[in-house]
Amino acid sequence: MSTTPEDGSNQGKGEDSPLADPDFRNQLRELPPSAKLVAKVLEGSSPLSQGQLAEESLLPDRTVRYALNRLEESDLVGSRYSFHDARKQVYYLNS
């Protein structure tokens, strides 16, 4: 069930993880639980598409979309077009 990151990296693992940063955690603390879960999934493997995030988090697509919007508004998550499919965006944690 686990999806692999698009570029083969595991950005966010270990001490370099944005989730280890106290400022990042304080901003995340103010967000809804769905946003926290999406951030945690992105910590484990990113970048991921919205569909991959829904699959990994077991959240509905609509909830993932809401969580991503909240994370992007707080500048905790960034996005770019997929290298594999330019029609899709992939998401990653901002450092």
pLDDT digits (tens, 9 = 90+) for 39-80: 999 998 879 999 999 999 999 999 999 999 999 999 999 999
Q: b/e string for 56-86 if b means 16 or more Cβ within 10 A?
A: bbebeeebbbbbbebbeebebbbbeebeeee
**Residue 24 is assigned to a structural domain of this protein:** yes
**Tally of domains in the chain:** 1
- Work out the percent of the chain whose per-residue pLDDT is above 70: 84
Higher pLDDT, residue 37 or 95: 37
In this prediction, residue 2 carries a pLDDT of 43
Give me the residue label for tokens 């029609």. Answer: 87
Q: What is the mean pLDDT of residues 4-21?
A: 59
* CA 22/CA 69 separation, integer angstroms: 22
Tell me the one-letter amino acid at 13.
Answer: K
Residue ranges making up the domain that contains 40: 14-93
Domain CATH number, residue 25: 1.10.10.10
pLDDT class for 15, splitting at 50, 70, 90?
low
Enumerate residues 6+ apart whose C-beta is below 8 A from 66.
32, 34
Residue 94, token pair as written in the block: 């901002």
Give me the residue label for tokens 């951030």. Answer: 39
On average, the pLDDT of the chain sits at 86
**Residue 69 is assigned to a structural domain of this protein:** yes
pLDDT at residue 8 tops 90: no
Check: pTM over 0.85? Answer yes or no. Answer: no
Half-sphere exposure of 11 (CA within 13 A, CB side): 17
